[in-house]
Structure 1
Amino acid sequence: MPMPPHNRRASLAAVAALGAAALIALGAAPAAFGNEGASELVVGGIEPIDGVRPGSSFDLPVTVANRGTEAAEKVWVSYSVTRGLDFAEVPSNCRAQQVPSYDEMPERWIAVCAFDQAVEPGVVYTPEKPLRVKALDRALNDELRVRVGEADPGADENGTPPVAGTAPAVKLVEGQAGGEGSARFVDVPVTSVNTADYQVTGAALKGSVGDTVTMKVRFTNAGPAWVLTGEGDRLVQVLVTPPAGTSVVKPHGFCEAEGEVYACGTSQRSVNDGGRETYTFELKIDKKVAGAKGSVVLSAEARPFDPNKANDKADITLDVTGGGSTGSTGSSTNGADGAGGSAGGSSSVGDDGTTTNDANLAETGSSATLPITVAAATAVVTGAGLLMVRRRRATA
């Protein structure tokens, strides 16, 4: 569901669902971790990763330590990477699953590795062979999360069934002190050298004065990279200005009017490679304005990953044909009515966003003589009424 340009109000149920999903998918400690005795596991050893080339791979040098007073008898280490990354190989003591985007969280891969061995207090451990991650062609700004715990975090019920790895199993070995971390989970940004091409598509509208026409404009990420906007950072907006001589009968549900311009948001804080948003408006043609032209343009925040600015703006053209007049009756393919009812014939829109008008009344069995007949009958009734009034006055 598209995200409006400003924050949405979430229901209590949605907030609760999002919180539960975050506990499972994003690595916050579940309730089971509250009864672990005197052991205190922490993870560390990972620094931000920058300058990765799509197609290349890198290792995750994770450390696990126990800051408590008793040994942890078994340990689970969980790895989560967003959709620009994947695991190059998964050891057989680990299981992996793909989780699609939901609750405004991006698509990701999760690997959970079980180490059936004790982790003693005051000792730093590391996997004897670090987990290897590869950068896909769509990698750009990705996120990595590593978590440690004494309880199996379980699988994400929204993801694919977990699959055991096929690479040789690994175990934890004692490492050098230092870099053992201070928390149960750590988040690390992974930045790749890549680009993404944001672009917009306008529309060519056609109709008569009084018609209601459908306008579709689009925003597309032509890739090759997907784009994950950081938490709290400004999301891209699509700014739509309808042509002069028209009025907006029905805007897209997630576009907000800011004067004569409509600011439209995107579905989530991430935009997949090849992903698109289509914004549909119903416009009333109020009058013919020579050379009337609207626009669709991307908002002006910095996008260093998108060097091609030539396709950040597109025109919305309007060809007003025929006579027509506001207030005449008719129909449109979208069934708009009431204050936004169409007039003067039926309108249709193609997949390319072009809207055309087709006032062929003959196909419906209607005739252009019907309005004339009704008008003539009305005139006869009105004349008869006036004649009766005059006769009554004469009698009186």
Structure 2
Amino acid sequence: MPMPPHNRRVSRAAVAAVGAAGLIALGAAPAAFGDETAPELVIGGIEPIGGVKPGSSFDLPVTVANKGTEAAEKVWVSYSVTRGLDFAEVPSNCRVQQVPSYDEMPERWIAVCAFDQVVEPGVVYTPEKPLGVKALDRALNDELRVRVEDVDPGADENGTPPVAGTAPAVKLVEEQAGGEGSARFVDVPVTSVNTADYQVTGAALKGSVGDTVTMKVKFTNAGPAWVLTKEGEPLVRVMITPPAGTSVVKPHGFCEAEGEAYACGTSQRSVNEGGRETYTFELKIDKQVAGAKGSVALSTEARPFDPDKANDRADITLDVTDGGASGSSGSSGSTGSSTNGSDGSAGGSSSAGDDGTTTNGGNLAETGSSATPAIMGAAAAAVVTGAGTLLIVRRRRARSLN
């Protein structure tokens, strides 16, 4: 699903209520102990995690409590971490699967641990050994979700087949009261000390007056970290200004005109390390302008994870050759910063950028632009013999809708 620079669609998977400590608690608040007539499990004991170093590991201490009046005969605790994290030692009573990105949710790992024991009302429990998590080299801003249920949640049908852990099984043990949570599942941020180098690549265009040329410029995350933008936070925008003397015949699918420039979004709210977007424009060379030069540049919002600003802007040059319109399509080359890293698919459209994530494979819909439709065909005039009438034929390009 393409992400335009404005009015980004809210994810179907996103529901949130932000706590004062930065902990996001999801789900309705349960009643006090003893007010329910069935098991009512809640999760707690986990706080936001920060200052993690890539390559290191940390534990996830959680508590499970039953706020109902009936005992739960068996419970399942699920842990979900985004792609900058992975599980370390997984007990044999847990199963793990990898789930690719879909429905605008990022790629993640899920571990579901089954505890075949009774959870009594009014008692707080904790796993006798907390589940371990390791931060990968690409870790930066990740998300962790923990959930408790009294029925088996099953596997995510979009993920790989679940695999049982190999470490010794663990069980729940009683803990002192007071550590119980207030919701069936919670989300917490996990922040690592890492960087990601956002950079852009320009283009070198060449053609004659009247030619239509293809311009391709790129945005790349050179890593080492992937970047997951939190819901509600602005995505990076790529500002593209075509060279003077040209007009835009067709902009890229999710770029919008802003004055003389175009603001281009990204296809997902996350950008993998090595991931990139390629923005393709069709430009008509209207006239020769000495020293004409455009630019591609990153928007100016703060990006503390990206200290290198030298590659945030690149030139778009235009070499206009002598002669009139030839009707041929000029070529475009690349200039500016390097774009190391492998490409990944960002969608099924031919105009899609490569963001390095696995997506749902749908076509990227064009968000539209306010660019004035350009006349592609040259007017042809013929004097009709004996009548002295001038017939003017114009062909107007129909606007493409993806």
**TM-score, length-normalised on structure 2?**
0.77
1:254-276 Cα deviation digits (max 9, x unpaired): 00001111000011111111110
Instruction: Tell me the residue number matched to 1:289.
Output: 289
8 Å contact from structure 2 (residues 78, 112) kept in 1: yes
Instruction: Tell me the residue number matched to 1:77.
Output: 77
Map 1:179-190 → 2, pairs under 5 A: 179-190=179-190
- SS of residue matched to 1:323: coil
Pick the aligned partner of 2:329 from 337, 346, 362: 346
Residue 80 (structure 1) shift: 0.4
1:186-209 Cα deviation digits (max 9, x unpaired): 111111000000000000000000
CA distance in 2, matches of 1:218, 1:20: 29
1:51-93 Cα deviation digits (max 9, x unpaired): 0000000000010011111101110000000110000121111
CA distance in 2, matches of 1:149, 1:90: 19
Residue identity in the other structure for 1:125 = Y
Radius of gyration: which is bigger? Answer: 1
- SS of residue matched to 1:59: strand
Coordinate RMSD, CA, aligned: 2.7
Instruction: Tell me the residue number matched to 1:234.
Output: 234
Instruction: Tell me the residue number matched to 1:393.
Output: none
Instruction: Tell me the residue number matched to 2:6.
Output: 6
Residue 8 (structure 1) shift: 5.1
Q: Among the aligned pairs, what percent are the same residue? A: 85
Instruction: Tell me the residue number matched to 1:365.
Output: none
Segments of 5+ residues of structure 1 without an aligned counterpart are 30-35, 326-342, 354-373, 387-396
Map 1:277-356 → 2, pairs under 5 A: 277-325=277-325, 344-349=327-332
CA distance in 2, matches of 1:43, 1:142: 20
8 Å contact from structure 2 (residues 82, 109) kept in 1: yes
8 Å contact from structure 1 (residues 27, 145) kept in 2: no
8 Å contact from structure 2 (residues 13, 105) kept in 1: no
Question: Which contiguous aligned blocks of 4+ residues in structure 1 show a shift greater than 2 angstroms?
Answer: 7-10, 18-22, 26-29, 346-353
Map 1:374-389 → 2, pairs under 5 A: 382=385, 385=386
Residue identity in the other structure for 1:344 = G
1:322-368 Cα deviation digits (max 9, x unpaired): 2114xxxxxxxxxxxxxxxxx53233446879xxxxxxxxxxxxxxx
CA distance in 2, matches of 1:90, 1:288: 66
Residue 19 (structure 1) shift: 5.2
Alignment of 1:87 onto 2:87: yes
Larger CA deviation: 264-273 vs 247-256: 264-273
Residue identity in the other structure for 1:246 = T
CA distance in 2, matches of 1:28, 1:158: 23
Q: Structure 1 3/234 Cα, relative in aligned 2: closer, same or farther at 3 Å?
A: same
**TM-score, length-normalised on structure 1?**
0.78
CA distance in 1, matches of 2:89, 2:286: 62
CA distance in 2, matches of 1:20, 1:151: 23
CA distance in 2, matches of 1:77, 1:2: 34
Residue 158 (structure 1) shift: 1.1
Q: Structure 1 9/64 Cα, relative in aligned 2: closer, same or farther at 3 Å?
A: closer
Q: Structure 1 110/211 Cα, relative in aligned 2: closer, same or farther at 3 Å?
A: same
CA distance in 1, matches of 2:270, 2:56: 23
Instruction: Tell me the residue number matched to 1:201.
Output: 201
Instruction: Tell me the residue number matched to 1:155.
Output: 155
CA distance in 2, matches of 1:349, 1:185: 51
Instruction: Tell me the residue number matched to 1:212.
Output: 212
Q: Name whichever structure is richer in helix by fraction.
A: 1
Residue identity in the other structure for 2:267 = S
Map 1:128-147 → 2, pairs under 5 A: 128-147=128-147
Instruction: Tell me the residue number matched to 1:364.
Output: none
Residue 232 (structure 1) shift: 0.3
- SS of residue matched to 1:221: strand
CA distance in 1, matches of 2:14, 2:328: 52
Residue 159 (structure 1) shift: 1.1
Instruction: Tell me the residue number matched to 2:53.
Output: 53
Instruction: Tell me the residue number matched to 2:98.
Output: 98
8 Å contact from structure 2 (residues 76, 149) kept in 1: yes
1:279-324 Cα deviation digits (max 9, x unpaired): 0000000000000000000000000000000000000000001211
